[in-house]
Amino acid sequence: MNSTRPPWANRGEGRFFTRIEVTTMLNGAMLALPLHVVTGTRDGPTLGVITNVHGDEFLPTTVIRQLIGELDPARMRGRLAVVSVANPLATANFGRQTPEQHGRTDLHEVFPGNANGNTTQRIAATITSRLLEHVDAFVDFHSGGSGGRLQARVDYNSKAPAPVKRKSLEFSRAFGAPFVHENDLTGTASHYLNGKGIATANPEVGGAYLGPDDTAHYFRQCLTGLRNLMAALGMLPGYRIVRPKKQLLFNQKGRRELRPAHSGYLVSHYQRPQDLGKLIRKGTRLGETVDIYSYRVLEEIRAPFDGYLFFSRYSGVVGAGTQAFALAEAATSEWLR
Ligand SMILES: [Zn+2]
C-alpha cells in the first residue's frame, strides 16, 4: 500500500464522486475529470482504473457504471478508484484524440504527462498526481471505437521490468479474456506504473455501436473481467474467479495486422464474437474491399499464415491502412492453461 494518501482516500466506507479540475477551456468552462471511489469496510489494496483514454471507446465506462452500482462496500476490502472518462475533450468530439492545435494529442502516449504542457499532457499529469500515485494495481480499459470492431484481449507491457512483467501477466490473465497479448505500452499510464513496480492490465474488449447482442456479450465479459481482477487482489471475499480453461498468449512478433491497401467498403466474413479464437488456415479469404464508386473488388484479404483470429470487424467503410483483421501466428502463440 502507498503511504501518501490523496484527499479522497481519507473518506470512510461507501461511494464518493468528485470532479478533478485540469484547466480552463477556450469555451470558458472548466475541464474536469470524473473520479468515482468505492471504499470497502475492511482494509485492502487500492485498484485504480481509467477508461475513455481514447474518446470514442465507450463500452468500458458503461460497465464501470454497472460495477459501481452493484458493489457492496460492507462486503468489500480496499478501494476502487476510477477516472471514468479520462479524456472528456476527445469524448466530446466523438474521436480518439484531443482536438487541440499542437502535437502530442493522444493521451495514451503522453504519460506521466506534464503539468506545464499542452492540454493532453496536463490531463495526463492530473491523472498521474491524483490517481496513479495512490494505487496498488491498475487497469487502463480500452475498447473498439467507431468502426464495429470485435476483440477480446488483455495487453500487458513488454517493456516492464521482468518481475513486474510477470506480475502483470498473472494479473492480466485473471481478467479472463480468451487472449493475452504482450505489447509495447511505452507512453501509457501502465508503463509509468510498471516503472514503479506496480502490476497493470490493459483490456481491449468489444467496441462501440456493435448491435444489441454483441454489445451485451462484451458488456458481460468486461463486467466479469473487472470482478475477476478485484477478486484476484482479494477485494471481493467469497467471489470465485471465472476464467476460460485456456488462454492464448502471443507477442508483437507473432501478431499480424491485415490492413487494406485501398479505401472502400470492407465485406467481412468474420463478424461474430464467436469467430474470435478460430484457427484460420493460410490463404483463407477473410474479406474483400469493394470500391464504392465503380463497385469493383479492389482487393481480397487473405490469411498470410495459419493463425488465430483475435481482431475482426463488421462490414463497413474503411480507410486505406485501417486494421481490418488481425491474427496471432499459430506457430509462435502459446496456450496457457
Ligand atoms: Zn484505446
260 in the same domain as 236: no
Rounded to 5°, the CA angle 291-295-301 comes to: 50
Which residue among 220, 244, 268 closes a domain?
Answer: 244
Is 215 exposed, middle or buried (CB count within 10 Å of its CB: 0-12, 13-18, 19+)? middle
Q: Is the pLDDT of residue 7 over 80?
A: no
Ligand 1 centre distance from Cα of residue 6 (Å): 27
Ligand 1 centre distance from Cα of residue 154 (Å): 12
264 in the same domain as 199: no
Note down the domain range covering 279: 254-336
Q: Is the pLDDT of residue 23 over 80?
A: yes
Ligand 1 centre distance from Cα of residue 306 (Å): 27
Which residue among 244, 277, 299 closes a domain?
Answer: 244
Ligand 1 centre distance from Cα of residue 273 (Å): 19
Ligand 1 centre distance from Cα of residue 107 (Å): 10
What does the pLDDT look like over 28-77, one tens digit per residue? 999 999 999 999 999 999 999 999 999 999 999 999 999 999 999 999 99
Query: Which residue bears the cell 510498471?
Result: 194
- Residues 13-36 have a mean pLDDT of 96
Q: Tell whether 1 is covered by a domain.
A: no
Domains held by the chain: number: 2
Q: Is the pLDDT of residue 132 over 80?
A: yes
* List of residues 6+ apart from 27 with CB closer than 8 A: none
Q: Is the pLDDT of residue 212 over 60?
A: yes
Q: Is the pLDDT of residue 4 over 90?
A: no
Q: Tell whether 2 is covered by a domain.
A: no
316 in the same domain as 285: yes
Determine the pLDDT at residue 2.
47
| pLDDT, the chain, mean | 95
Q: Is the pLDDT of residue 234 over 90?
A: yes
- Residues 108-117 have a mean pLDDT of 98
Largest Cα separation within the chain, whole Å, is 65
Ligand 1 centre distance from Cα of residue 198 (Å): 21
